[in-house]
Structure formats: structure tokens, C-alpha cells
Chain A
Amino acid sequence: MLINTVILLLRELMPLCILFSFMLVLRPTLFADRAFTVWFWITCLVVPFVSFSVAEVVSDAFSSKGAEIMGITLLLAHFVCLLSATMLSLSKNNTAWLMAIGAIALITYKGSSLILYLDIYANQLAFWQPLIVGIFIGLGICMSLLVLFRFLLSELQGHHRNAWVMAFWVLYLAGNTAEISNLLLQINAVEWGAKTFFDVSAYVQDASEYGHLLKALIGFDASPTVLFMAIYIACMGVATLMLLANRINTNAVQQRSVRTGTEVQV
């Protein structure tokens, strides 16, 4: 019970802690506005609980495919919003709101299963002690990871290794978004790509500590399907191209403003 609680917390919360590390490094002033911060945290708490309360109805919808369709929509929303937020650096407000929506989409996707688990055991008094201890241990590990990963990203940024930070960010986004492949195959929405692309489970198992950590960091899968790899590579390609195009565009705007002597907020 205790170990299961810790594992479940690590599986669901680790990717979110890594997301917060990225958000704090990519947008250090994200939580500077008090109104925005309050709105963000309230929404982060409310939306997963709303999703949990309608989970049964959603699951039964579309011939029992509702949960998968909702999962795919949330993962797509998270990818589009977070990538757009990274690109749109011209308007700070737009970026913050887009980033918040992307984060809330991922929190809702990851959080509903965790809330369901906690709800089952919270109703049984005998399980309260291991549940609370498990939550504390799991949260402790996740918070440690958040601090360490944020420190690593800040150091990379401080030493002018911004390209590394962006590379990690692209891998993280692609890893989360590639989970769509499993949802599509699970409901048989696509015929193509169900075969295993490679299998490295003899070296790193998905269920191991390293497996969980790599999964949270870069979306690692020990035996991914062809469709998983296709979506992963497509997301990586789209994100890299868009970020490069945005950088070229930003540099051109900066150079033009230097030539004309006008000030541009970038």
C-alpha cells in the first residue's frame, strides 16, 4: 500500500514537477503577478477534481472511448499551448496564459487517475496511515527532483547553454505528446504502427526507477510502437523547426530595430 502510493505519486507527479521546473526557468516572471498566480493555482486544483467527478460519464461516452478521446485532446492542447507559449515571446501576457492552459491540460490528464486512487483509499480508515506517509514520501521525492532539475536548467541557462535547455524542453514535450499513440492504438483508431519498433527492456525496464525518471524527463519507453516513434519524431521535428524559425524571426526583428533605432520588446 505504502510502496504503491509512492510509485503512483512518482508516476503521475514527476512529469508535472519537471514541467514546473521548465516553466520557472523559461519564464522566471511567470508567477510575479499575484492575480495570475492565484487564478492558476485555483484552476490547477479545481479542473482535475471536475474531471474526476465526470470521469465515469466521460469514460462511457463514445462507445467507451471517451476517456481516450479526452486524453488525446488534453495532450494535444498541452503540446500546442506550451509550444506556442515558448514561441510567442512578443507579448508576455499571452505567453503566460498559454503556458498556464498547457500546464492545466497536462495536470488534468495526469491528475485524474491519482485522485481516483486517493479517493478509493481515503474512504477506508485502515489505509489512512500508509496513504499519508506515502503521499509525504512521494511529494518529498518529487519536490527534490523539481529543485534539482530547476537548478540544472538554470545553470545551463546561466552558462549560455540555452540550446540544451530548449533541446530538453522539446524532448519533454514530444515524450508527453507521443503518449497519444497508445491511446489511439488502445481504441483501434489507427490500423498502422502497432508493431514494436525496438525493445530495450533488457537494459532499462519501464517499471524500474530509471524507467520512471526517463519517462518523466524525455518520454522514454522501453518497447515503443512504430506509431509512438512516428509521433515522437514528428513532434520533435515540428517543435525544433518552429523554435528555430521563431529565433531567426526574432533576430531579424532585433537587427531591424537596431538599424532603425526603435526599441522592441522581445
Chain B
Amino acid sequence: MFSQMQQGLSQVWWHRRQALSSLVLLSILLISPRSFTQQPVFTITLSNHTFSPDEIVIPAHTKVQLIIENNDDQPEEFDSFDLNREKVIFPNRKVRLFIGPLLPGEYEYFGEFHPDTARGRVIVREPKLDKKTLKTGEPSVN
């Protein structure tokens, strides 16, 4: 009986240690300064349960930062099956989330609480190499 209890306790302790080490690893990952590195920034505004602009064009194969501002007096959930993103935006708040790198194509998003009106698309295009790009090294998207 005692040995069973001891075995049970040692198993519980092992799981706790495993959970603790996972949390420490996760904290290190989340606090790391990676999220402050530079990415192209695109802003979407939500007013009257409608996204504006409802289409944004972003470069392919590049991680992009989206800033979404909710100017409504109700919360909305930015949701996209294509982009695998889901984020609640409370009234008069601004959130930022990262998407990509994506392949060229069209990726739909919508407001989960008002899907009839709050809809939009992210259009991903191959970056064009123009004169400015060759000078600066930063490709433009048209």
C-alpha cells in the first residue's frame, strides 16, 4: 500500500515538474524580443461592423503585421479560417497580430460576431522588382 502511494506521488511529482518546465520554456519564448523585429505593417479599421479597407494587398513569402482598430461600441472577433487567426477586439481598442509568410492567393477574413457585414480579404502577391526595389532592396507590392 505504501509503495503504491509512493509510486503515485512520484508520478504526480514528475508531471508537475514536466508542466513547470513547459511553462518556463513558454515564458522564455514569449518574452523573447523576436516580436519587436521589423515587419511590414498594414492597418484595418472596424467601423459600423465593416472592415475598412476590405481588401489589403501584402507581399508573398513575408511575415506581415496587421493592426486592427475597433471603432465600434461592441466587441468583435477577427476570424479567418484561411489565415488560421482568431482574435477578440474590444470596443475602441487596437490589436496587432502577425500573418504569413503566405503563398500568393486570396485569404478571407470576417468578424465572427457580425459575419454578414464585417468581411474582407487579404490578397497576397509576388513582390515586384522595380527600380526602387533594386536601389533599396525592399520589394514593392501593387
- What distance in Å separates the Cβ of B83 from its nearest Cβ neighbour in chain A? 9
- Which residue in A59, A76, A182, A191 is a CB contact (below 8 Å) of B22? A76
Which of B15, B32, B63, B93 touches A189 (beta carbons < 8 Å)? B32
Contact B98 A186 (CB under 8 A): yes
* Complex Cα gap A225–B103 (Å): 12
A142 at the interface (CB under 8 A from B): no
A148–B26 Cα distance when bound, in Å, is 37
Number of cross-chain contacts by CB at 8 Å: 112
Q: How far is the CB of B93 from chain A (nearest CB, A)?
A: 7
CA distance A48 to B77 in the complex (A): 17
Cβ contact of A188, chosen from B11, B34, B86, cutoff 8 A = B34
Interface core residue of A55, A62, A116 (most chain B CB under 10 Å): A116
Indicate whether A207 sits within 8 Å of B81 (C-beta atoms), given known contacts A90-B7, A116-B88: yes
B63's closest neighbor in chain A, by CB?
A: A194
Count B-side interface residues using an 8 Å CB cutoff: 45
Interface of A, helix, strand, loop or mixed by DSSP: helix
- Asked whether A59 lies within 8 Å of B84 as measured between CB atoms, the reply is no
The interface centre, meaning the residue of A77, A186, A205 with most chain B CB atoms within 10 A of its CB, is A186
Chain B 111-132 interface 0/1 with A at a Cβ cutoff of 8 Å (1 = within): 0110110000000000000000
Cβ of B30 and Cβ of A223 under 8 Å apart? no
In the complex with contacts A91-B8, A206-B81, A188-B87 CB distance below 8 A: no
A4: chain B residues within 8 A (beta carbon): 115-116
Residues A188 and B88 in contact in the complex (CB < 8 Å), given A194-B100, A207-B81: no
Within 8 A of B (CB), among A173-187: 182, 184-187
Binds B, one of A24-32, A65-73, A156-164: A65-73
Do the beta carbons of B74 and A120 come within 8 Å of each other?
yes
B26 and A205 within 8 A (CB)? no
Q: Is A264 an interface residue (CB 8 A)?
A: yes
Interface digits, B75-106 against A, CB 8 Å rule (1 contact, 0 not)? 10100011011111010011111101111000
| Residue among A8, A69, A190, A205 making CB contact with B34, cutoff 8 Å | A190
Q: Whose C-beta in chain B lies nearest to the C-beta of A265?
A: B4
Q: Does A47 contact B (CB under 8 A)?
A: no
Q: Is the CB of B113 within 8 A of A84?
A: no
Within 8 Å of chain A (Cβ to Cβ): is B18? Answer: yes
Nearest 6 CB-CB pairs, A to B? Answer: A206-B81, A188-B35, A188-B98, A90-B8, A84-B15, A80-B19
12 further A-B pairs in the complex, CB-CB below 8 A; given A73-B26, A117-B112, A187-B97: A4-B116, A8-B112, A59-B88, A72-B30, A84-B15, A88-B8, A113-B86, A116-B88, A120-B75, A189-B35, A190-B29, A194-B63
What are 6 A-to-B residue pairs whose CB atoms are below 8 Å?
Answer: A65-B30, A84-B11, A84-B15, A94-B8, A117-B112, A196-B103
